[in-house]
Amino acid sequence: QVHLVESGGDAVQAGGSLRLSCAASGFTSGYNVNSYRMAWFRQVVGKEREGVAAVYRSGLTTYADSVKGRFTISKDSAKNTLYLQMNSLKPEDTAMYYCAAGFGAGSWRESSKYNYWGQGTQVTVSS
């Protein structure tokens, strides 16, 4: 059973930066973060979970338009860790951020395509 643990969330002012981490463990022998499509989602209470960024097994990355140019997703297979570098933060980036891993094909934005989820880390951006 893959276990994902996010960290790095905090309260910052607009224009600031944060780096989120997602430590992954519990892989079957021979598997690591490179074996899955990994993604970051975020959710505000009362709204649907939104895809923020994803990195495919090939290393290709993709982003939501709202974060393109400000956020960078990356992974370290040796550490089995996924990262999200967030720069030029805006109040509208305030949300609970979740790490996800999955084998599923189809749209990276669909939360149903992911098999494993972390518990989330809160990001709050004040104006």
| 93: helix, strand or coil | helix
Structure tokens at 126: 């004040």
Residue closest to 50 by CA, chosen among 83, 87, 94: 94
Indicate the pLDDT class of residue 24, thresholds 50, 70 and 90.
very high
> What pLDDT, in 10s, does the model give residues 29-80?
888 999 999 999 999 999 999 999 999 999 999 999 999 999 999 999 999 9
